[in-house]
Chain A
Amino acid sequence: MPENTDAVILDGVPAVAPDGAPVPVDKRDKPRSLWNDAWYDLSRKPIFYISALVILFLIVISIWPGLIASQDPLQCNLIDSQNGPSSGHWFGFDQQGCDVYTRTVYGARASVEVGIFSTLGVAVLGAVLGGLSGYFGGWLDSIISRVSDIFFGIPILLGGVVFLSAVKGGSVLTVSTFIILLGWPQLARIARGAVITAKEQDYVLAAKALGAGHGRILLRHIAPNALAPVIVWSTIALGTFISLEATLSFLGVGLKPPAVSWGIDISAAAEQIRNAPHMLLWPAGALSVTVLAFILLGDAVRDALDPKLR
Chain B
Amino acid sequence: MGRYVIRRLLQMVPVFIGTTLLIFVMVWGLGDPVAAMFGDRTPDPATAAQIRHDLHLNDPLIQQYWIYMSNVFKGDFGNAWNQQPVTDLLKTAYPVTLRLTIVAFLIEAIVGVALGVFAGLRRGRFFDTGVLAMTLIVVSIPTFVTGYVLQYFFGVKWSIVHPSVGEGAPFKDLLMPGLVLAGVSLAYVARLTRTSVAENTRADYLRTAVAKGLPRRRVITNHMLRNSLIPVVTFLGTDIGNLMAGALVTERIFNIHGVGYQIYQGIVHNSPATVVGFVTVLVIVFLLANLLVDLLYAVLDPRIRYA
Give me the interface of A with B, judged by CB distance under 8 Å. Answer: 146-147, 149-151, 153-159, 161-163, 165-168, 239, 243, 246-247, 250-251, 253, 266-267, 270-271, 273-274, 277, 280, 284, 287-289, 291-292, 295-296, 309
Find A157's partner among B145, B147, B195, B245 (CB 8 Å cutoff): B245
Write the chain A residue with the least CB distance to B286: A153
Instruction: List 10 tightest A-B contacts by C-beta distance, closest first.
Output: A155-B245, A150-B18, A153-B19, A158-B245, A292-B140, A166-B30, A291-B140, A270-B148, A288-B140, A157-B245
Chain A residues in 8 Å Cβ range of B16:
153
**How far is A274 from B149 in the complex, measured between Cα atoms in Å?**
9
Please tell me if the beta carbons of B136 and A296 are within 8 angstroms of each other in the complex: yes
Chain B residues in 8 Å Cβ range of A166:
26-27, 30-31
Binary contact readout B133-177 vs A (1 if CB under 8 angstroms, 0 otherwise):
000110111111101110010001000000000000000000000
> Which of B40-48, B226-234, B275-283 sits within the interface?
B275-283
Please tell me if the beta carbons of B23 and A146 are within 8 angstroms of each other in the complex: no
Please tell me if the beta carbons of A155 and B282 are within 8 angstroms of each other in the complex: yes
Please tell me if the beta carbons of A153 and B287 are within 8 angstroms of each other in the complex: yes
Q: Is B14 an interface residue (CB 8 A)?
A: yes
Chain A residues in 8 Å Cβ range of B139:
291, 295
Question: Can you offer 13 A-B residue contacts whose CB atoms are under 8 A?
Answer: A150-B18, A153-B16, A154-B19, A155-B286, A158-B263, A163-B26, A166-B30, A266-B145, A270-B147, A271-B148, A273-B148, A280-B148, A287-B142
Write the chain B residue with the least CB distance to A246: B142
Please tell me if the beta carbons of A150 and B140 are within 8 angstroms of each other in the complex: no
Find B283's partner among A153, A156, A157, A267 (CB 8 Å cutoff): A153
Contacts A157-B245, A274-B152 hold; do A151 and B140 have CB atoms under 8 A apart?
Answer: no
Q: Is B244 an interface residue (CB 8 A)?
A: yes
Q: Is B252 an interface residue (CB 8 A)?
A: yes
Find B152's partner among A243, A247, A250, A277 (CB 8 Å cutoff): A277
**How far is A162 from B272 in the complex, measured between Cα atoms in Å?**
10
Chain A residues in 8 Å Cβ range of B252:
251
Q: In whole Å, how far is B202's beta carbon from the nearest beta carbon of chain A?
A: 11
Greatest chain B CB density within 10 A among A146, A150, A246, A288 is at A150
Please tell me if the beta carbons of A157 and B249 are within 8 angstroms of each other in the complex: yes
**How far is A296 from B242 in the complex, measured between Cα atoms in Å?**
24
Please tell me if the beta carbons of A274 and B156 are within 8 angstroms of each other in the complex: yes
Find A162's partner among B142, B145, B195, B275 (CB 8 Å cutoff): B275
Q: Is B72 an interface residue (CB 8 A)?
A: no
**How far is A291 from B252 in the complex, measured between Cα atoms in Å?**
23
Chain B residues in 8 Å Cβ range of A284:
141-142, 145
Q: Is B267 an interface residue (CB 8 A)?
A: yes
Please tell me if the beta carbons of A158 and B282 are within 8 angstroms of each other in the complex: yes
* Extra 4 A-B pairs, beta carbons < 8 Å, given A157-B246, A251-B264: A150-B22, A155-B244, A162-B267, A166-B26
Q: Is B67 an interface residue (CB 8 A)?
A: no
Contacts A146-B15, A309-B195 hold; do A158 and B248 have CB atoms under 8 A apart?
Answer: yes
Q: In whole Å, how far is A39's beta carbon from the nearest beta carbon of chain B?
A: 24
Please tell me if the beta carbons of A157 and B248 are within 8 angstroms of each other in the complex: yes
**How far is A285 from B117 in the complex, measured between Cα atoms in Å?**
30
Find A288's partner among B141, B263, B275 (CB 8 Å cutoff): B141
Chain B residues in 8 Å Cβ range of A277:
152
Find A251's partner among B141, B244, B248 (CB 8 Å cutoff): B248
Chain B residues in 8 Å Cβ range of A271:
148
Q: Is B241 an interface residue (CB 8 A)?
A: yes
B30-61 interface with A by 8 A CB criterion: 30-31
Greatest chain A CB density within 10 A among B14, B142, B156 is at B142
